[in-house]
Amino acid sequence: MKVLKFGGTSVGTVESLRNVKSIVESCNERVIVVVSALGGFTDQLIATARKAEAGSEEYISDLQAMKQRHFNIIDELVEDCDKESVKDQISNLFESLSRTYKGVYLLEELSRRSLDKVVSFGERMSSCIISKIISGAMLFDSPRFIKTLRRFGKHVLDNDSTQKLIHAEFDNVDFKVAVVPGFIATDASGVFTNLGRGGSDYTAAILAAALDAQVLEIWTDVDGFMTADPRLIKEARVIDSLSFIEAMELCNFGAKVIYPPTIYPVFHKNIPIYIKNTFNPHAPGTCIKDNRSVPSQQVKVKGVSSVTDSCMITLKSASDLKRADFNTRVLNTMARNGVSVLLVSDTSSKNATSVAVTASEIEQALEALEKEFAGELETGELLPMDVQRNLATIAIVADNMRNDVMVPGKLRETLALGKLTVVGRSQGTPETSLAFVVPGSERVYALQLVHNVFFGS
């Protein structure tokens, strides 16, 4: 059995949906097809919710246009005998969406819960239509079996319940093609939640791992995982193969082609991931599997990626700092509070240490550190924390970096020759990634320089 995931870029138009249909229908084995909302539709749902919250009646005409977009697809692609029933189902969903928007409009308030409900409509609608476009497909309702818990103010997967529910839903059901809405979930009380933006990839990985699929295929709009973001670096080229760890690192450092939590469940089960292009299905794509090269081999840098909106917090001691102990305490504090650390940086002062985090987690990070070091801040042992914003974290990724002195040297030289303003860099001996932080305004220049050096211009 295979799991195929088609993102918004693959399900946005009549033409792309024709490709999806042909790709799925040409599979010989059983398949689970995880789908996103129509391309750009989740953003549109959110933008319209904001208009309603602001008291604008434009949400009403937006709804009309959104409905028309779905109806056009039904008119073009659903067989005549199913058209009316699919239109009825989509109309019912639009009525429910309209009531939700009206509530937001009247209250002039868009709560987290309402927003979660609003965005759930994208995948509910697309999956309903796509299950009628692909012949013989059966629709499964992921909010029944993808469950989330709340941790540190975010929805995270409730793995235990989800595993049980997936088996209850799929075991002993005879299907050739199962269509499943990605991204959406519910909490223990049945309220709509989701797996985070880009989360359809994760839905697909959770299903692939739970049901022991042979392979997970992520179908998108590029020929594979590339050496850099092709929208920023025009020379970026497709990588034939990556290890799970390399892919995980590139994604954690911002490669948008896969949502970062996706890799872990399939890595754990050793299920390979293929990245394929819906618009060029015969291209080989990228294979991600457990193919870490043997440590003695020459290190080959696989790619470079970047996280915009990075911030750096510097903690400075008034006296000598036992850096190792101090860094461990900082990292533990971040982990306990659900903050992801992009890098811990050496600074020029031996009494200071810096950590880079994303802008979305900076307040949480500061609050946690202030609590943890309240005593030291009070006595003046630690100076008030310094925060730098609008930065970018850039990372090059390769397995077995530890065995190589050439790559770190080459990177250092590139940054120096390019006169980049490096405000932080990862410390210690790297295993799989080397990261550094520059002002956001230097991000693309830095990516281009590094890409030229490691992959040619």
Q: Which does 183 bind (CB under 5 to 8 A by kind): Mg ion, ligand ADP, ligand ASP, none?
A: ligand ASP
Q: Which does 199 bind (CB under 5 to 8 A by kind): ligand ADP, Mg ion, ligand ASP, none?
A: ligand ASP
Q: Which of residues 8-47 bind ligand ASP (CB under 6 A)?
A: 8, 36-37, 42
Minimum distance of ligand ASP from residue 256's CB (angstroms)? 11
Which tokens is 124 given? Answer: 């509910």
Report the DSSP beta bridge partners of residue 277. Answer: 220
**Contact window for ligand ADP (CB under 6 A) among 5-13, 60-68, 293-301, 368-376:** 5-13
Size of the site for ligand ADP (CB under 6 A): 20
Site map (CB under 6 A) of ligand ADP, residues 254-293, x = contact? -xxx------------------------------------
Q: Which residues contact 170 (CB under 8 A, 6 or more apart)?
A: 140, 178, 211
Dist CA 234 CA 179 (whole Å): 35
Minimum distance of ligand ADP from residue 223's CB (angstroms)? 8
Our finding on whether 8 is near ligand ADP (CB under 6 A) is yes
Burial string for 416-437 (b: 16+ CB within 10 Å, else e) reads eebebebbbbbbeebebbbbbb
Which of 12, 143, 181, 182 is in the footprint of ligand ASP by CB under 6 A? 182
Dist CA 208 CA 269 (whole Å): 9
Our finding on whether 43 is near ligand ADP (CB under 6 A) is no
Answer whether 250's CB lies under 8 Å from 302's CB: yes
Nearest in space to 302 (alpha carbons), one of 434, 392, 140: 434
Minimum distance of Mg ion from residue 7's CB (angstroms)? 5
Our finding on whether 200 is near ligand ASP (CB under 6 A) is yes
Dist CA 401 CA 433 (whole Å): 7
Site map (CB under 6 A) of ligand ASP, residues 109-138, x = contact? -------------x----------------
CA atoms within 13 A on the CB side of 450: 32
Q: Is 399 helix (H, G, I), strand (E, B) or coil?
A: coil
Q: Which of residues 217-256 bind ligand ADP (CB under 6 A)?
A: 220-222, 225-226, 228-231, 255-256
Which of 198, 224, 265, 424 is in the footprint of Mg ion by CB under 5 A? 198
Cβ proximity to ligand ASP, 114 vs 241, nearer residue: 114
**Contact window for ligand ASP (CB under 6 A) among 195-203, 245-253, 280-288, 348-356:** 195-203
Minimum distance of Mg ion from residue 396's CB (angstroms)? 23
Minimum distance of ligand ASP from residue 205's CB (angstroms)? 12
Residue 148's Cβ-count burial label (10 Å; 0-12, 13-18, 19+) is buried
Residue 337's Cβ-count burial label (10 Å; 0-12, 13-18, 19+) is middle
Report the DSSP beta bridge partners of residue 137. Answer: 177
Size of the site for ligand ASP (CB under 6 A): 12
Dist CA 299 CA 285 (whole Å): 22
Answer whether 252's CB lies under 8 Å from 244's CB: no
Residue number with the smallest Cβ distance to ligand ASP: 200
Our finding on whether 181 is near ligand ASP (CB under 6 A) is no
Helix H or strand E encompassing 169: helix 159-170
Nearest in space to 396 (alpha carbons), one of 268, 256, 300, 280: 300
Our finding on whether 143 is near Mg ion (CB under 5 A) is no
Dist CA 162 CA 152 (whole Å): 20
What distances in angstroms separate CA 228 from CA 62, 233, 241, 304, one per listed residue? 36, 6, 14, 5
**Contact window for ligand ADP (CB under 6 A) among 2-10, 60-68, 81-89, 370-378:** 2-10
Cβ proximity to ligand ADP, 203 vs 314, nearer residue: 203
Minimum distance of Mg ion from residue 34's CB (angstroms)? 11
Nearest in space to 222 (alpha carbons), one of 150, 288, 279, 282: 279
Which of 12, 143, 181, 199 is in the footprint of ligand ASP by CB under 6 A? 199
Site map (CB under 6 A) of ligand ADP, residues 180-219, x = contact? ------------------x---------------------
Per DSSP, which regions of 8-153 are E strands?
31-35, 137-139, 148-151
Question: Which chain residues interact with Mg ion by CB under 5 A?
Answer: 7, 198
Question: Which chain residues interact with ligand ASP by CB under 6 A?
Answer: 7-8, 36-37, 42, 122, 182-183, 197-200
Question: Which chain residues interact with ligand ADP by CB under 6 A?
Answer: 7-10, 36, 198, 220-222, 225-226, 228-231, 255-257, 303, 305
